[in-house]
Every structure is written in C-alpha cells, then in structure tokens.
C-alpha cells in the first residue's frame, strides 16, 4: 500500500517544497508512489489524524512550531527534514542573536508583533529526524533518492566526504589558489560542487560534513594567510552555531 | 450575518487565515491574518559585506528568488555606482522571465486551476484533465530550464553577482532553448484560452494599481513607477516619498499605501498600465480574450498572468536572439567599494519588488529596506474581500467561502515573501 505522506512548511521561503514540484518529469511517478494526504502549498485537503511519513521544510522559529513538530513526531512513523533551514538552521537562524533588537529594527516596536518568537533552530533540536535532504535549496533528484530509500525502508547514510572531494573529481580550480575563502573544505558533499563549478565559492549550505577535518581547514587557512574572521562569518550564514 | 473563516488557506505560498464578517449588508471586518513567522531579513543583511547580501536576500522567496537576487544586486550597484553591460542586462532579463514562466505556470495550474473544476488539488487533474496537467508541467519546466541555464539552478541563482555573471550559458544550449521557447507558444496561448473561458465574478477593485512603466517596453527589469488611478509616474529612487508601510495588529506582514490609499501590484497592474506594449502574439491573445488596458477586476489577474506567459516567451526569445548576436562581456570587474545608498525595483511575477541599501566605505551594508509585492497587495486584498462579500452576502456560506478563496488566490500571494 502507498504510504500516506504529509508535507509541512515551518519558517522558510518554501523553496524546497517548490523544488519538489520542480521534478516535473518524475512528478507523476512520485504522486503514484506516495499518497500525499496533506500539503498546504498544493492541496486544500485538511490534515488527517494519521499519516505515515512527514516531510518538513523550515526552521523552528515560534513557540507554536515546537508543539507542532512534537505532535508530528508522535503521529508519523518517519520524519524527513528537507533543506538547510530544517537540517542546520539555515538562513532563518542568522536572526538567532539579539532577537528583540531585530524585531525593533524591522517593526519599530517589540510588543504585539512577531508573537511567539524564539531563536530559530533546526528541526533536530526538538525531535528525532530519520532522513535528511540538505542544501539551500534541496536538489530535486537528491530528494527523490531519499524518498526511494524511505519507500524501501533503507537507512539514511550521510557521506563523510567534504566538498573538496567533488571539486577534485570535477577538476574545479580551487578558490584558495586565487586567494579567496571557500567553505568546501568542511562542507557535506553531494551537490557535485555546483557553485564552485559556476565560479562561486562554497557557503556550506549543506551543513558540516560529519568527517570534516577542522584541523585541516585551520592549517589551510593559516598556510594561505586567509582571514579567519571572514571564514567564521561566512560559516554562520547557514550554520550559525559553527560560526560563533 | 455571513461569516467566512478559512484557517491556513491552501494553495498559496505561506500560512494565512481568512476572516470576513458581514451583518445586514454591512461589513464588520475583512482580514487576511498572516500567521507565517517573521524572518527579519532587513536586520540579517545589516553588517554583511555587499557580496553576501544578494545571496541572503534570494532566500526571501523560493519562487521569485531570481527577482530578489537581481533586485538586491541592482540596488547595491546603484549604492556603489557599479556599471554593467547591456549583455549583463540581457542575461538578467532572461533569468527574470524564467521565473515568470515558472511562477505563472505554478500559480495558474497548481494553485488556481483546481478552484475552477471543484478539485482540492492539481493532482486530481492527472485523472480528469491529464492534458492540462501535462501542459502545466511543460511550461513550468521550461521556466526552470531557463533559470537553470542562466542562473545555474532553478531556485536561488548562483551565477548572478554584482557587476555581471560569473559564468555565461553556452551558446549551443541557448540556441536549443530558443527552439523550446518557440515550441512552447501554443501551450501559453492555450493557457490564455483556458482562463479567458472562465466565468469570473463581475467585480472591480477600488484601489490604485501600480507597476513599473517604460515608454517603449513592457517594463520588467527597470523603469519608473506608474499609477493607473493617479495617472502619475515617479522614479524608483523616490519610492519612500510615495509608498508608506505600516505595521498592522493582525499578522507579521506590514501593509502598504500610496498617497494614503490601498493599491495592487502584479500582472493585472502591469497589463493595465503597459497593455499597449505587449509583444505581438500576447497583444493578439489579450485582444481576443477581451482584456483591455484599464481592466481592474482582481479575479482577472489570472488571465493577465496567462497573457504574460505568451509575452514572456516572445520577449525572452528576443533577448536570447540579441544575446547570441552580442559580442560584449558579462564578466564582472573587481568592485570598487565606496560608500553610498541605492534603491532598485523590478517587476517580480507577483508585482513590483523594491530593495534599497546603504553601504559604508568598507562595503558593509548598514541598513536595508525591502518591500515585497504581497506586502503591497495585502491592504487592497482585504478591502476587496470585504467589498466583495458585502456585495454577494446572500450566497450560501460554502459558495461564498470558495469565491473569497478564489479572490485571494487570484492575487497570487506569497506570505513568506510578505513577512521576510
């Protein structure tokens, strides 16, 4: 029987849910393999009491989210976190520090606006996550691969490799050689180093590789006389805890 | 008494709750509470170096990310007096038109179309109207191919930077997508026919309609701001003088007014102001669909988006042809950092998008202001909901609720953009 699936958006730009719809060629097959019972972005169906799989985009940024994701965890057999916001806090977590000052900055007051706000955190700070699809945005094909693993009940292996391995394979010119900082040294591989191939340094949107060699990064940075402050600040764009 | 309440209205981007109440023909309230959480982008980019800002600003929206990227870049270029080439402008326009195809196809078919066939989602079309769903996916895919070819991927472009592009699309692939664009024209024309045949309620908005305007072009990438009711035209750099934002007590999105009055932006406003400048096939399609300059029925925003699909295909093909004949450069020069402030606006698929930044002598952003299309539309949308329900309050609640949701969707709101 097809598993029932609910797709949810927490604080995010919905880009990862949009990426699911961007797998146009595979969408009919995906809709055949999954019974999508709830998806506010694409369907008027209301949330049923039971479903097998929860796919969640976005960071936890309000108190209501905390209770909500806990309820989802109690209901779903499998929880899949998609995108940098859900996996490592991503861009929303950039607002984690001095939250009230930011509210004042944007709204001109702190009372009665951005109600229930809390420092943005990734999903895994609150509930167990069974599968992750990292990246900002997710890659539609990588998402389909993870869905296949969910359907087959396979595990969710996370590659130890940093992005540098992918750059070697793609024969990309290393940014460090031209005196620019690139975070690929510690970033979780799997995107094929697309940004570097297109002339942009890695910003670590896929999070830090489990096997990241932080000492290696430190020595590369020291050798190249790189600006450590720039590295920390860049790392904080998607991985706010790593940058501090 | 008629009361409409729809929590977490579906088939729009972001979370919001509709609440309208009418008693004895008198409107008690009409609200779209934006419950989508605030993300504080304007504070996030403060203290960031100029090169990081477009990348962060792009994450305001997963659908119109090319527009946020390009608008942020243009505002920063204005702040630091960075020049760009005509070739760069061509690539940027193609990128923006890619997002038009993607956005309009997604909105018209996946979000709006189910309303017209009484379905809960477009997935049902796979059974009942497979050809329609296939057409939708073809148009959407073409938009994604364009943004991927120019920007490096469908969401959050990689190659667009201050001063130009880090990589250009290969000529052979551009020539190939030119063929795909031409082949897609029938799909776009059939979309116009589909939405022209829909029986929309007779209704006119009281608000103003605003869009970028140019003398010779259907403005998307640059221009002045034009007003249909006010009959005026003002430079984007002065937007703060005529466009006011205020915090409301029912949600995280600010509302906008122009000269103290609610207004709408988007395809309806663009067509009303620049309908005479549509590309030839789009102009024909608009004429045969009965859309004339000055249309002010917000339900017709859907039909206007369909006409813009035709226009986008024609215009985008033209830009690619120009690009293939151009022998200029789009590689960015090293940016000469200087202090300054700058504003820019583009027409995102859902309406005018403003970004402005103040940069210090180190190239660090000191302040930012971003006004998204949906934030501009919310006040007018609420006014329209109220007047519409008051006018047809004798309908059964279910029918009324369905029509109000259709009105909300016709505005193509992006609530995640609106709270940014």
- Per the listing, tokens 């664009």 go with B181
Calculate mean pLDDT across residues B322-327.
96
pLDDT at residue B230 greater than cutoff 50: yes
Closest CA to B43 of B61, B56, B62: B56
pLDDT at residue B37 greater than cutoff 90: yes
Q: Strands A131-133 and A78-82: what pairing?
A: parallel
Residue bearing the bigger pLDDT, A161 or A217: A161
pLDDT in the model for residue A241:
78
Calculate mean pLDDT across residues B143-171.
97
pLDDT in the model for residue B419:
95
For B:14-53, CB contacts with A below 8 A are 14-15, 36-40, 42-44, 46, 48, 52
Calculate mean pLDDT across residues B112-124.
92
Q: Assign B40 to helix, strand or coil.
A: coil
What is the band of B293 on the pLDDT scale with cuts at 50, 70, 90? low
- Per the listing, tokens 């460090």 go with A176
Instruction: Report the distance separating Cα A35 and Cα A5, nearest Å.
Output: 6
Q: Which residue stretches of B32-124 are H helix?
A: 41-44, 53-58, 65-80, 86-105, 113-116
Instruction: Report the distance separating Cα A191 and Cα A200, nearest Å.
Output: 14
Yes or no: say if A201 and A183 are a contact pair by the CB < 8 Å rule. Answer: yes
Task: Read off the pLDDT of residues B363-399 as tens digits, 9 standing for 90 and up.
Answer: 999 999 999 999 999 999 999 999 999 998 889 999 9
Closest CA to A205 of A122, A143, A137: A137
Calculate mean pLDDT across residues B200-221.
96
- Per the listing, tokens 């096997």 go with A211
The long-range contacts involving B227-230, CB below 8 angstroms and separated by at least 24 positions, are B227/B258, B227/B263, B228/B269, B228/B272, B228/B273, B228/B294, B228/B296, B229/B261, B230/B258, B230/B259
pLDDT at residue A243 greater than cutoff 60: no
Calculate mean pLDDT across residues A83-93.
97
pLDDT at residue B403 greater than cutoff 60: yes
Interface contact A7, partner B, CB < 8 A? no
Mean of the per-residue pLDDT values of chain B:
96
Tell me the C-alpha to C-alpha distance, in Å, between residue B231 and each of B226, B236, B263.
7, 16, 13
Interface contact A89, partner B, CB < 8 A? no
Going by the DSSP 8-state scheme, the letter that residue A137 receives in this structure is: S
- The values of phi and psi at residue B263, to 5°, are -155, 165
Burial letters B151-185, b for 16+ CB under 10 A, else e: bbbbbbbbbbbbbbbbbbbeeeebeebbeebeebb
Interface contact A192, partner B, CB < 8 A? no
pLDDT in the model for residue A106:
94
pLDDT in the model for residue B272:
94
Calculate mean pLDDT across residues A81-110.
94
Say which of A16, A27, A199 has its CB closest to residue B167.
A199
Which chain A residues contact residue B139 at CB under 8 A? none
Percentage above 70 pLDDT, chain B: 100
pLDDT at residue A235 greater than cutoff 50: yes
Q: N- to C-terminal Cα distance for chain A?
A: 47
Which chain B residues contact residue A41 at CB under 8 A? 10-13
pLDDT in the model for residue A244:
42
- For residue B45, give both structure tokens: 């980019």
Task: Read off the pLDDT of residues B191-208 as tens digits, 9 standing for 90 and up.
Answer: 999 999 999 999 999 999
Check A198 against B167: CB less than 8 A apart. yes
Calculate mean pLDDT across residues A112-122.
94
């Amino acid at each position: 029987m097809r598993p029932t699936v609910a797709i949810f958006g927490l604080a995010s730009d919905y880009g990862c849910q949009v990426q699911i719809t961007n797998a146009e060629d595979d969408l009919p097959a995906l809709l055949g393999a999954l019974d999508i019972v709830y998806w506010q972005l694409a369907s008027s169906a209301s949330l049923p009491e039971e479903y097998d799989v929860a796919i969640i985009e976005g960071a936890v940024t309000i108190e209501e989210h905390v209770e909500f994701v806990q309820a989802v965890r109690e209901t779903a057999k499998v929880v899949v976190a998609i995108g940098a916001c859900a996996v490592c806090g991503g861009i929303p977590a950039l607002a984690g520090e001095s939250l009230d000052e930011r509210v004042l900055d944007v709204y001109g007051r702190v009372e009665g606006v951005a109600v229930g706000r809390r420092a943005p955190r990734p999903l895994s700070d609150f509930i167990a996550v069974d599968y992750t699809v990292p990246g900002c945005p997710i890659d539609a094909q990588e998402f389909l691969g993870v869905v296949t693993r969910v359907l087959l009940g396979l595990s969710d292996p996370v590659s130890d490799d940093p992005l540098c391995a992918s750059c070697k394979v793609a024969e990309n010119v290393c940014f460090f050689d031209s005196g620019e900082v690139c975070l690929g040294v510690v970033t979780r591989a799997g995107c094929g180093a697309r940004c570097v191939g297109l002339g942009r340094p890695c910003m670590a949107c896929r999070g830090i590789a489990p096997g990241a060699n932080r000492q290696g990064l430190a020595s590369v940075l020291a050798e190249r006389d790189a600006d450590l402050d720039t590295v920390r600040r860049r790392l904080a764009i998607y991985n706010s805890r790593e940058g501090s | 008494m008629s009361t409409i309440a729809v929590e977490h209205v579906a088939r729009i981007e972001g979370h919001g709750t509709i609440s309208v109440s009418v008693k004895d023909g008198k409107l008690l309230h009409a609200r779209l509470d934006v419950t989508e959480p605030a993300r504080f982008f304007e504070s996030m980019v403060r203290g960031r170096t100029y090169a990081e800002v477009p990348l962060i600003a792009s994450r305001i929206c997963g659908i119109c990310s090319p527009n946020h990227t390009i608008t942020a870049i243009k505002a920063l270029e204005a702040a630091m007096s960075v020049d760009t080439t005509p070739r760069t402008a061509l690539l940027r326009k193609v990128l923006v038109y890619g997002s038009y195809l993607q956005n309009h196809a997604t909105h018209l078919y996946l979000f709006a179309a189910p309303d017209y066939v009484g379905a809960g989602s477009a997935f049902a079309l796979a059974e009942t109207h497979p050809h329609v769903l296939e057409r939708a996916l073809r148009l959407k895919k073409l938009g994604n191919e364009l943004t991927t070819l120019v920007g490096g991927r469908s969401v959050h472009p990689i190659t667009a930077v201050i001063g130009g592009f880090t990589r250009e699309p290969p000529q052979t692939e551009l020539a190939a997508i030119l063929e795909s664009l031409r082949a897609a024209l029938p799909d776009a024309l059939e979309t116009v026919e589909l939405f022209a045949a829909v029986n929309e309620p007779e209704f006119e908005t009281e608000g103003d309609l605003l869009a970028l305007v140019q003398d010779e072009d259907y403005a998307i990438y640059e221009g002045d701001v034009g007003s249909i009711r006010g009959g005026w035209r003002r430079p984007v750099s002065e937007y703060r003088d005529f466009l006011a934002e205020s915090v409301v007590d029912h949600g995280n999105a600010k509302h906008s007014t122009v000269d103290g009055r609610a207004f709408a932006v988007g395809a309806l406003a663009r067509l009303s102001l620049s309908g005479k400048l549509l590309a030839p096939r789009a102009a024909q399609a608009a004429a045969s669909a009965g859309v004339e300059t000055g249309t002010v029925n917000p339900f017709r925003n859907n039909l206007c988006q369909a006409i813009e699909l035709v226009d986008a295909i024609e215009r985008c093909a033209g830009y690619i042809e120009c690009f293939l004949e151009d022998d200029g450069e789009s590689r960015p020069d090293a940016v000469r950092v200087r202090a300054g402030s700058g504003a820019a606006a583009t027409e995102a698929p859902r309406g005018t998008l403003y970004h402005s930044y103040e940069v210090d002598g180190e190239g660090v952003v000191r302040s930012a202001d971003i006004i998204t299309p949906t934030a501009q539309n919310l006040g007018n949308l609420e006014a329209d909901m109220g007047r519409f329900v008051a006018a047809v309050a004798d309908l059964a609640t279910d029918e009324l609720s369905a029509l109000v949701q259709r009105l909300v969707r016709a505005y193509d709101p992006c609530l995640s953009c609106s709270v940014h």
